[in-house]
């Protein structure tokens, strides 16, 4: 029996002992990239797949209690300043720090769960790309987002590590960036908003929500549009003795399934940049893809979707700037002149991005990139290119309308070859 099978069996036993329920019609199977859920027998619609007790949910409050116990009074004050991610990720990391030391603290109760999470070498988010793989993203929205996230997470890790150093240097030595990155990736790819635990559960993140981990529930992979619902049994009057209310959260699948079919969750609307950055996969022809466009010197960002959705706001912003500039110079005699100027400015900007996507896609065909990463980048750049081309089509239509407006005024516009090539 392999270690993976042992770990999976241990997870099932641990989950059951602590009140978790997995439908007997559901089979958890270890695959190359982690554990997935499949229908063991035919599943009817509205089947409850997994039920997780509140006592097993990894929250910031539970993590804070455990870290207080582990780090003692010297860290009491500073722990209050940590973010939810720092608390939860440090709690996860402590399972690795003390594993094999011969003494496993009782407050670290999630080892069977953590042992079944994908190891670092199986993670494929943008922060796990090689330097060369990440370079392919230069010129895309995702590149800057990946650099920003790594910078932020490294700062968090260094803060946590300094606290551990003051308590026990051997812990700080074992608390590596790779481990914190792994824990942070598990949190970004598996977490649900804390609003999932409310009497009326919601998957919408708000300023007041924070990430939580639902062991075993989070084993279900994502499928866009998959009909699922959440059921929360919540009793504020009961407690398990540690301040945790008694209750459960369940995921219900509304799709009938045949034996052997995979059972999916629905993470909600996710563009490929978000999927690659936080989850480590992409979807072909993702209808939720987007391109973020921003004018130089402006803080306004425009998220443009497929078929140039939302591009009108960008057009209006640039036209306002062009009109204001023209008025300062005495004003344009005709409105179509402003429209032509707006189209020219935006076409030049968008064409540069289209060209960059094409270069990336061509280079991917010949460069040494891991197959899974290549596939993700191809899906991502194709989606970006499709959106940008739809924006160009919109701009060309506005340009054509301006030309027609000029003709109606008896003005024939003549473009030189450079203008034609640029457009």
Q: Name residues whose C-beta falls within 8 Å of residue 187's C-beta, 6 or more positions apart in sequence.
A: 85, 88, 89, 92, 211, 213
**Residue 200, pLDDT score:** 79
CA separation for the pair 47, 248 (Å, rounded): 16
CA separation for the pair 109, 160 (Å, rounded): 21
Residue 96, Cα to own-chain centre: how many angstroms? Answer: 25
**Residue 423, pLDDT score:** 45
**Residue 178, pLDDT score:** 98
Q: How far is CA 64 from CA 69, 89, 269, 316, 397, in A?
A: 9, 11, 31, 48, 57
Q: Name residues whose C-beta falls within 8 Å of residue 323's C-beta, 6 or more positions apart in sequence.
A: 332, 338
CA separation for the pair 363, 84 (Å, rounded): 40
Residue 169, Cα to own-chain centre: how many angstroms? Answer: 33
Q: What is the mean pLDDT of each run of 10 residues along the chain (423 residues)?
A: 82 96 94 85 95 95 95 90 97 92 86 95 96 92 96 98 95 97 97 86 84 95 89 69 72 95 90 96 96 90 96 94 69 77 94 94 85 95 97 96 86 66 48
**In the chain, what are the domains?**
3-278 (3.90.1410.10), 290-422 (no CATH)
- 3-class secondary structure, 119: coil
Q: How far is CA 252 from CA 45, 48, 118, 196, 256, in A?
A: 9, 4, 24, 13, 11
**Residue 418, pLDDT score:** 56
């Amino acid at each position: 029996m392999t270690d993976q099978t042992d770990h999976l069996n241990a997870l099932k036993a641990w989950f059951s002992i602590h009140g978790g329920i997995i439908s007997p019609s559901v089979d958890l199977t270890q695959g190359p990239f982690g554990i997935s859920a499949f229908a063991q027998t035919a599943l009817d619609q509205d089947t409850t797949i997994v039920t997780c007790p509140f006592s097993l949910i990894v929250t910031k409050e539970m993590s804070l209690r455990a870290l207080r116990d582990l780090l003692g009074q010297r860290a009491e004050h500073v722990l209050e300043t940590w973010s939810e991610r720092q608390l939860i990720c440090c709690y996860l990391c402590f399972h690795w720090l003390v594993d094999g030391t011969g003494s496993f603290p009782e407050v670290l109760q999630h080892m069977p769960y953590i042992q079944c999470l994908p190891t670092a070498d199986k993670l494929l988010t943008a922060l796990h790309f090689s330097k060369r793989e990440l370079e392919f993203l230069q010129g895309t929205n995702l590149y800057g987002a990946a650099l920003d996230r790594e910078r932020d997470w490294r700062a968090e890790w260094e803060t946590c590590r300094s606290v551990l150093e003051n308590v026990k240097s051997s812990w700080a030595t074992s608390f590596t960036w790779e481990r914190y990155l792994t824990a942070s990736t598990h949190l970004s790819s598996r977490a649900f908003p804390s609003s999932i635990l409310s009497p009326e559960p919601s998957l919408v993140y708000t300023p007041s929500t924070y990430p939580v981990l639902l062991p075993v529930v989070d084993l279900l992979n994502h499928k866009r549009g998959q009909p699922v619902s959440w059921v929360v049994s919540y009793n504020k009057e009961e407690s398990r003795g540690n301040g945790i209310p008694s209750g459960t959260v369940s995921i219900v699948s509304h799709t009938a399934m045949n034996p052997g079919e995979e059972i999916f969750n629905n993470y909600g609307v996710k563009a490929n940049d978000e999927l690659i950055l936080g989850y480590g996969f992409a979807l072909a022809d993702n209808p939720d893809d987007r391109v973020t466009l921003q004018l130089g010197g402006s803080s306004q960002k425009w998220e443009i979707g497929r078929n140039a959705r939302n591009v009108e706001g960008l057009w209006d912003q640039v036209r306002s700037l062009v009109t204001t500039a023209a008025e300062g110079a005495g004003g344009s005699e005709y409105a179509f002149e402003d429209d032509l100027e707006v189209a020219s400015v935006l076409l030049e900007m968008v064409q540069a991005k289209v060209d960059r996507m094409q270069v990336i896609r061509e280079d991917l065909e010949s460069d040494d990139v891991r197959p899974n990463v290549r596939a993700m980048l191809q899906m991502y750049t194709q989606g970006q290119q499709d959106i940008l081309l739809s924006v160009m089509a919109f701009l060309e239509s506005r340009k054509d309308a301006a030309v027609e407006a000029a003709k109606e005024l008896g003005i024939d516009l003549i473009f030189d070859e450079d203008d034609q090539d640029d457009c």
